[in-house]
Chains A and B, each alone.
Chain A
Amino acid sequence: IAGITQAPTSQILAAGRRMTLRCTQDMRHNAMYWYRQDLGLGLRLIHYSNTAGTTGKGEVPDGYSVSRANTDDFPLTLASAVPSQTSVYFCASRAAKNTGELFFGEGSRLTVL
Chain B
Amino acid sequence: AQTVTQSQPEMSVQEAETVTLSCTYDTSENNYYLFWYKQPPSRQMILVIRQEAYKQQNATENRFSVNFQKAAKSFSLKISDSQLGDTAMYFCAFMKQRGLVDMRFGAGTRLTVKP
Residues of A at the B interface (CB closer than 8 Å) are: 31, 33, 35, 40-45, 48, 50, 56, 58-59, 88, 90, 92, 94, 99-102, 104, 106-107
Contact = CB atoms under 8 A, between A and B. Distances in A.
A43 B109 CA distance: 13
A42 B107 CA distance: 4
Nearest to B103: A102
Nearest to B92: A42
Interface in B25-40: 33, 35
5 contacts: A40-B9, A42-B91, A45-B104, A48-B101, A101-B47
Tell me whether chain A's interface is mostly helix, strand or loop, or mixed: strand
Nearest to A33: B103
B96 to A, nearest CB: 9
Contact of B33 (A43, A44, A99): A99
Contacts of A100: 33, 35, 50, 95, 97, 100, 103
Nearest to B1: A59
A90 B46 CA distance: 13
Given A99-B33, A99-B50, A88 B43 contact: yes
Contact of B102 (A41, A42, A45, A106): A45
